[in-house]
Structure 1
């Protein structure tokens, strides 16, 4: 809930800027705190930032600490209310069951941050003070970071609360189901919804946040030489460690996405084509496995923290070859453990087990990475558009867009969708810089502002296609 609140705040006041939302109240972030950044696995991912327990002085050689010049100014008075109301119905015929369902979900997130202030370091003075300073290259944090090709950044400014404040979340869910539906997966119990079943759930949670809590921060990266000398990256985030090698020169661990413009339709089409093997692998899974994965993936979209935990574990497995989930909360382990079991025991056909598991891992990592990049409003709209019928329509629209630059009006018939679902579909596209234009029962989509940098359309299309791949034939 706190992570969602800070992310919404940054999206409102500094979208596409330098501010980074704080993900946890446990993160103690002061000025000149050392933050480790890692480039995303996929080029369109934002770097992941992990605050450490160390400040710049802790990793410097010498006995004379740096005393930065600090300033404090009023930033903004911020209070916001975010609400979602999603309702829809579905009639579906599955291989082993029939189902009709209707549901209505509503949620409200109220942020009462009040008057916020900004603390920042005088960077010009910091340049003078650190001119002759040297990093202790034997420090454990530096050795571990250098080995993993990550980047050091220093907190140069932070947005903090100036008074006690609160975050309140209200959720109401009501569902009615007819028919019988079963989800089956490896080593997982069957879950059945019997005829005319109904489910409702309400929650109201308030989080009190104390004074001087950091909710967002900005970094200045370090360009580190192999002898411990370093420079502050003033104009861009291109820090890293110099490679001490005869055959390889330059810096390791450069942050930020590869320079690419997926808003150009031809480039976007090529990127989706390059990822097609991942979607085909998901489509080829057994129906029971796809049904289980689809339920798990769609369920975690309702909890940003659970989604982030799943994505982090998959990233660790893919990059570090480690399936350790000891640092995951017990509540989130319930969502993650079935995925790990499926990766371990998935049916591989004629392909070697290790190769198949790695490919399935990469495909699931691709979907969760895209979902994790979506904004809160995009995720909310996506939850109303996750039925097989809606996902099929989105794929027709995207396919026609990639083939001809825009989708012809005859490509799909949106008249079969309810007004509620159609409204959420329009909202989903709009929040990702895509226009959905209707002409009666026909529809067309276009990418907005082709020259505007950003990866939002590509990320949304990856998420939609990934869910569609899991929904086929279940």
Structure 2
């Protein structure tokens, strides 16, 4: 709940900016808290930041406090569905409806920030203790140091409210008759209603988001502050035969995505999609069903992603830590993956189903909350097929095998969600008579690639 609220807050007030949402209200971040940036599996993933219990408290600095904004946000989803079935001797009617709302009332917020000029002055001739256990562990794992330069904090008690309502109705008549047998008639009418209302109280001076200055650390302990947003920190490599910094990902970021580069990346990942497509039908159906269900809750999706991270590192993942909302769905995904891993040596796991599913969920976890809501509406096999054709269009010539007639059969709701998905990835869809064309709007980041991975991965499970 809290993680979802802070992520929505950052997406709303600082999209594509430097603010990092806080995952837990227990993260007691202060200015100059040391935060470790973890190396991720895929170069286009946003870094994962782990606050530590240490600060650079030996550096004297001034703190500036200013008013930030007054924030109230409400995010809601409504899903409805009906199904009617008629057979020779039976009929069935089912109806379901689900609605959810997450309301964040943070009130007036404050921004604390470091006086960077004074921090620079105080950092001169300072040397880090390279024998400190935190530095040793961070350096060994090729991670990166950063310090909190600003944070957004609550100035009054506030709350996050999550409301969920589920209703369902089922009515049916079933008649059985055969030669020399009595007629059996069964009539059933049932209804299910489930409501939940959870309120989380947030204390004054709780950190909601923060921004970092990363450190470029020399092997002798001297360090420099990375003041430019496009400058990354890391540890200097001791060996004279190597150059550069540890902790900086080797793959380059698509600052201005070009079609040829996008095609190259998708071709490089093609084996993962082919592996998913060749799974048994039951395994594909189970993965698609349960991953789609997890998309309903941002916290559950992040929990699934975290568990897959641990499995790839051969570490134990505890299902008890997963939010209750989609624990069964996450467990079902893990069961399929565990079954697929049986009999494989560790050296054979680089191209396994686990890594392929991790690729897809990593892309899904990078999407914004409104994109996930739009994608859930489009997860039927027929719609995914059309979106796969559009993905080919994005990474190929710009003209899709999908025609205007293909899009015309879609409902207005589904079509608007498809257009929203592609627009959020900086891709414009244009319908020109019987042809569909795509146009990539060149902006910094990897949004077109992330969307293509997510859609192609779901399509591989649907067909």
TM-score (structure 2 length as normaliser): 0.86
Deviation string 1:156-193 (CA, Å, 9 cap, x unpaired) is 000111111122222234456899xxxxxxxxxxxxxx
What is residue 72 of structure 1 aligned with on the other side? Answer: 65
Larger Rg: 2
1:410 maps to which of 368, 383, 403: 403
CA distance in 1, matches of 2:416, 2:450: 20
In 2, distance between residues paired with 1:374 and 1:311? 13
> CA distance change for structure 1 residues 326 and 79 in 2, over 3 Å: closer, same or farther?
closer
Per the alignment, residue 318 of structure 2 pairs with 325
Match of 1:239 in 2: 233
Which residues in structure 2 correspond to 1:290-329 (within 5 Å)?
A: 290-318=284-312, 320-325=313-318, 328-329=321-322
Counterparts of 2:28 and 2:250, CA distance in 1: 24
> Is 1:55–2:47 an aligned residue pair?
no
Contact 1:45–1:369 (Cα < 8 Å) also in 2: yes
1:189 aligns to what? none
Contact 2:399 2:435 in 1 (8 A): no
For residues 179-234 of structure 1, give each alpha carbon's deviation from its aligned partner in whole angstroms, at most 9, with x where no partner exists: 9xxxxxxxxxxxxxxx9987554332222211111111000001111222211111
Deviates more, 1:356-365 or 1:385-394: 356-365
Residue 119 (structure 2) aligns with: 126
Displacement after TM superposition at 1:409 (Å): 6.4
Provide the aligned length of Structure 1 versus Structure 2.
441
Cα distance in 1 for partners of 2:376, 2:267 equals 25
- Aligned to 2:352, the other structure's residue is in SS state helix
State the match for 1:62 in structure 2. none
Identify the match of residue 342 of structure 1 among 323, 331, 336.
336
Please list every run of 5 or more consecutive structure 1 residues that lacks an aligned counterpart in the other structure. Answer: 58-64, 93-98, 180-194
2:221 to 228, 236, 239: 228
1:17–1:401: structure 2 CA closer, same or farther, 3 Å change rule?
closer
Provide the residue aligned with 2:35 in structure 1. 35
Query: Match for residue 185 of structure 1?
Result: none
How far off is 1:22 after superposition?
0.8
Structure-1 residue corresponding to 2:138: 145
From the superposition, tell whether residues 176 and 457 of structure 1 become closer, same or farther in structure 2 (CA, over 3 Å).
Answer: farther
- SS where residue 288 of structure 2 aligns? helix
- Separation in 2, partners of 1:256, 1:80: 38
TM score, norm. by length of structure 1: 0.84
CA RMSD of aligned residues (A): 3.1
Which structure would you say has the larger RCO, counting Cα contacts within 8 Å and 6 or more residues apart? Answer: 1
Point out where structure 2 has 5 or more consecutive residues left out of the alignment: 86-91, 173-187
SS of the aligned residue for 1:407 comes to strand
The structure 1 residue matched to 2:159, chosen from 151, 161, 166, is: 166
Q: In 2, Cα distance between the equivalents of 1:273 and 1:223?
A: 35
Tell me how far apart the structure 1 counterparts of residues 404 and 266 of structure 2 sit (CA, whole Å): 19
Residue 120 (structure 1) shift: 0.5
